Structure 1
Amino acid sequence: MTELRIEGLTKSYGPPAPPVLDGLDLTVPGGALAAVLGPSGCGKTTLLRIIAGFLHADAGSVTVGERVMTGPGVHLPPERRRIGIVPQEGALFPHLSVARNVAFGLTGLDRTTRRRRAEEMLELVGLTGYGERMPHELSGGQQQRIALARALAPRPALVLLDEPFNALDSALRAGVRADVRAALRLSGATAVLVTHDQQEALSTADLVAVVRDGRVAQCDTPQQVYRRPADPWIAGFVGDAVLLPATALGGGTADTALGTIPLATDTDTDTDTVNGTGTVLLRPEQLELTEPTSGAVGGTVTEVRFYGHDAMVTVAVDGLADPVDLRTAGPVAVQPGERTGIRVRGEAVLHS
């Protein structure tokens, strides 16, 4: 297993545009899958192309294991980096069979060894027996798994996945993601997945690196990034967020328009700001509909969006300028225009 270390990576396409990457740091432990997540234009694709060797960095370094790929006075060409790439839409060679596609990068080996390795990779991705088919005879999901097999066949030090599930319909996407993740785990490969899909990053990766303005704003496990985002922007970008003005009361609680809420004890809460004020983060699933009894926090339902497995209910809360969204499972008992109560479950995160 090979660790990926990126330090101080900088890349600009020239003035007057600001740098696309601005001193980016990222470490991916050996054997882990890291998802690089961020909005369009944040530098995700540029980062991937520099790691692969397709672009020169202006400054900084990329090290895979003990080999410096990019650094001061160093730029290994792509063919010498031992990095496998899974592009968007598979990009298989249409004139080659599946087996020959998988074996394409196996140079310097005899024909028998190449065939055996291709068969091993097809078994790894669950497509044993597909070697003689042509790419046009495969579904989109099968093509992506063949692309992964081709990337893994030469035993690369690192695998890069460039938004590989974008072209798949929603019914296929989750299954192919799971298959790809399982194959990567079995191979022991270190991998970097570039995506703009928050659900994909959270459900697939061991680590999620949120990139903003050319730097990693937060890198942690999916659960920590979702439950303990480093700032309100990350909270709103990684999933749905309920952000409320709050005043820290001491004793690990904060006063909000939804009542007094306990604060997470592992959060860096700055209660020394003016009046101890800040912004509290809750997730929609932490809010619960209750009977609109006197003394309870109440509001008026303005919208109900039903998704099958759950529903998102928007409530204009009394005394709060902006409405809040809450997620509820099962049948929705309220309709727009009705009064409801709201109760908070669990702890909140306070950002100063």
Structure 2
Amino acid sequence: MSDLHITGLTHSYAPGARILDGLDLTVPGGRLAAVLGPSGCGKTTMLRVVAGFLRPDAGTVELDGRTVTGPGVHLPPERRRIGIVPQEGALFPHLSVARNVAFGLTHRTRAERSRRTEEMLELVGLPGYGPRMPHELSGGQQQRVSLARALAPAPALVLLDEPFNALDSALRAGVRADVRAALRATGATGVLVTHDQQEALSTADLVAVVRSGRVAQCGTPQEVYRRPADPWVAGFVGGAVLLPGTGEGSTARTALGPVPLEVPADGDGGTVVLRPEQLALTAPPSDDTARATVADVSFHGADTLVSVLVPGVDALVQVRATGPVDRRPGDPVGIAVTGTATLHPHRTARER
């Protein structure tokens, strides 16, 4: 299993237009890391530097203990032992499935290529598909063949560049699961670039959230979701309830009342972060000044998202409830909090 270490990666496409700004990222061998961030944050640029398609302005990339990019070092892509699964598969349309999968096995005998191709197609759930042509496959099948092609040469690292974008929602979950299972079966280290928060949280071992060319936070999906590094990360990774609050030991004083804190804070004013599923609608309190008012109800089948106006809070507060909710816009309600929150103190001008 091959560790990936990216240190101080910097790249600009034009003077004054820095895309990567000292990006650091470590992916342990055999793990799948999802690189998540808004458009233009540097995700794809990072992937292209790791693959060897771009030379960075500064920084190093080490794979399996070997520097592939660094001061005075730039191994060409074909010498890096990196497999790539691009968007929409990008299969060679004039080659059969078997010849697509075997494309990178040029230094093996015909029997070895045939055996390895069969193994890879079996691994991605397409046994017997070798004679077919790419146009005879569905989008999900093409992505599986693309993964088989990337895994066939036994790469140290597999890069997946938003490979599920072209699939409809019914296919995405199944193909994601198949890709994850194939990576685990081969022990390959993987980096998945995506803008889909749910895809990152449900698929990866690690989630790296990129902002303005740097990793704002990297951790397990549970860590990033439940203990976001700052309010921006919280809002980007799933729904977030952001409340002004002041720390009072193990709780924070907020417009929703005292909220338990995961980490105690005394006297710190800042932003309290909760998730919509931590809130529950209750009967309205007797004190009219503390009442919240339902602004909108959005039913999604398995759950319902209720937007609520809360006195003292500028933005709508989102409450996620299981199943249907017997509330309508204009109804007065109370809000109860479950679990703990994180408090992010306001930064000083020097800290910014």
TM-score (norm 1): 0.96
Query: 1:219 is paired with a residue of what secondary structure?
Result: strand
1:308 equivalenced with 2:301 (yes/no): yes
Write out aligned runs for 1:225-236 (5 A). 225-236=224-235
Unmatched tracts of structure 1, length 5 or more: none
Write out aligned runs for 1:234-313 (5 A). 234-250=233-249, 252-265=250-263, 271=266, 275-295=267-287, 297-313=290-306
C-alpha distance in 1, partners of 2:210/2:101? 32
Report the alpha carbon displacement of residue 278 of structure 1 after superposing the two structures with TM: 1.1
1:342 equivalenced with 2:335 (yes/no): yes
Could you say which residue in structure 2 is the equivalent of 1:331? 324
C-alpha distance in 2, partners of 1:95/1:319? 63
Query: 2:103 is paired with a residue of what secondary structure?
Result: coil
- Deviations for 1:182-222, whole angstroms, at most 9, x for unmatched residues? 11000100000000111100000000000111111100000
Query: 1:264 is paired with a residue of what secondary structure?
Result: strand
- Deviations for 1:110-132, whole angstroms, at most 9, x for unmatched residues? 11110000000001101111111
- Deviations for 1:221-262, whole angstroms, at most 9, x for unmatched residues? 000000000000000000110000001112x11110001011
C-alpha distance in 1, partners of 2:315/2:90? 46
- Deviations for 1:111-156, whole angstroms, at most 9, x for unmatched residues? 1110000000001101111111111111100100100000000000
Cα distance change of structure 1 residues 344 and 183 upon mapping to structure 2, 3 Å threshold: same
C-alpha distance in 1, partners of 2:39/2:324? 36
Identity of aligned residues (%): 72
C-alpha distance in 1, partners of 2:122/2:55? 36
Amino acid at match of 1:74: V
C-alpha distance in 2, partners of 1:72/1:186? 35
1:166 equivalenced with 2:158 (yes/no): no
Report the alpha carbon displacement of residue 67 of structure 1 after superposing the two structures with TM: 1.3
Could you say which residue in structure 1 is the equivalent of 2:154? 155
1:14 equivalenced with 2:34 (yes/no): no
Alignment equivalent of 1:321, drawn from 302, 314, 336? 314
C-alpha distance in 1, partners of 2:313/2:4? 46
Contact 2:261 2:343 in 1 (8 A): yes
Write out aligned runs for 1:107-146 (5 A). 107-146=106-145
Report the alpha carbon displacement of residue 16 of structure 1 after superposing the two structures with TM: 3.1
C-alpha distance in 1, partners of 2:306/2:14? 46
Contact 2:248 2:265 in 1 (8 A): no
Report the alpha carbon displacement of residue 321 of structure 1 after superposing the two structures with TM: 2.9
Amino acid at match of 2:256: L
- Deviations for 1:2-30, whole angstroms, at most 9, x for unmatched residues? 0000011111112132x111111100000
Contact 2:245 2:254 in 1 (8 A): yes
- Deviations for 1:74-109, whole angstroms, at most 9, x for unmatched residues? 000001111000000000011111111000000111
Unmatched tracts of structure 2, length 5 or more: 346-352
Query: 1:48 is paired with a residue of what secondary structure?
Result: helix
Moved more, 7-16 or 133-142: 7-16
Query: 2:334 is paired with a residue of what secondary structure?
Result: strand
C-alpha distance in 1, partners of 2:276/2:245? 17
Could you say which residue in structure 2 is the equivalent of 1:218? 217
Could you say which residue in structure 2 is the equivalent of 1:99? 98
Amino acid at match of 2:247: A
Report the alpha carbon displacement of residue 317 of structure 1 after superposing the two structures with TM: 1.3
Query: 1:103 is paired with a residue of what secondary structure?
Result: helix
C-alpha distance in 1, partners of 2:108/2:313? 69
User: Number of paired residues?
Assistant: 344
1:70 equivalenced with 2:69 (yes/no): yes
C-alpha distance in 1, partners of 2:294/2:61? 52
Query: 2:50 is paired with a residue of what secondary structure?
Result: helix
Query: 2:146 is paired with a residue of what secondary structure?
Result: helix
Bigger proportion of residues as strand: 2
- Deviations for 1:272-328, whole angstroms, at most 9, x for unmatched residues? xxx521110000000001111315953111101111111110111133333201101
Cα distance change of structure 1 residues 43 and 348 upon mapping to structure 2, 3 Å threshold: same
Structure 1 moving runs of 4+ over 6 Å: none
C-alpha distance in 1, partners of 2:48/2:256? 46
C-alpha distance in 2, partners of 1:143/1:169? 14
Contact 1:270 1:351 in 2 (8 A): no
Report the alpha carbon displacement of residue 332 of structure 1 after superposing the two structures with TM: 1.0
TM-score (norm 2): 0.96
